[in-house]
Amino acid sequence: MRYGQLRKRHRRFSRFSYSKYEPMARKRKDNTLGMPTWITYTLLIAVAVTVLFAYFAKQHRRFRAIQVATIDSMAGIDLECYLQKLLTTQGYSVRMTQASGDLGVDLVASRDGDKIAIQVKRYNSKVSRRAISDAVAGMQHYRCNKAMVITNNYFTPGAITLVRSTGCILADRDTLARWIVDLQNSRD
């Protein structure tokens, strides 16, 4: 080998080690980003919090974007859960009763000394007076001072006649739509 070739080889090899057979000790970084570890963890936590916030904001927007047409395709229990959240945003303290054997009351809402027994009906046809009778009867069992029936439809003339004598509150499709629009227009 010539001297020039040997020197080039030595330079090339010496970049990686102190001698021909001994590898050079490399400096370790704190992490792969070249930043101190605590800064990296702080950034990761900030990103995680941002992702969680975006997820919950999306869930809240989805809750607010529900329309009456969407309610028509919900299952009965899903409608009860939605109404529980909807009434909570109106300032009520709402609890669900058991799914079966609820004695005609699906939700119990409280606010300002009023305790309301609520019967929820998701029907494809008009709601009859039997729903009003169930709500009024269940009102006593749950120690409520008011009864209410909420539906995604409307009420039969017989149901409206019974309401006049019982004092039950009716919330039909139009009232429900108004509540949803109020929720969508409210500022959090």
CA gap 155, 151 in Å, rounded: 8
Per-residue pLDDT tens digits for 14-62: 554 555 555 554 555 444 566 778 888 888 899 999 988 888 777 666 6
Question: What is the CATH code of the structural domain delimited by 68-185?
Answer: 3.40.1350.10
Question: What integer pLDDT is reported at residue 4 of this predicted model?
Answer: 53
- Is the entire prediction scored with pTM above 0.85? no
Q: Classify burial at 45, counting beta carbons within 10 Å of its beta carbon; exposed 0-12, middle 13-18, buried 19 or more.
A: exposed
Confidence of residue 152 (pLDDT cuts 50, 70, 90): confident
pLDDT of residue 30: 47
Residue 157 reports pLDDT greater than 90: yes
Q: In this model, does residue 66 exceed pLDDT 70?
A: no
Other beta carbons within 10 angstroms of residue 172's beta carbon come to 18
What percent of the chain lies above the pLDDT cut of 70? 73
Helix (H, G, I), strand (E, B) or coil at 117: strand
Which strand (E) or helix (H) includes residue 107? strand 107-111
Whole-number Å distance between alpha carbons of 83 and 118:
10
What is the reported pLDDT for 1? 54
Domain extents in the chain: 68-185
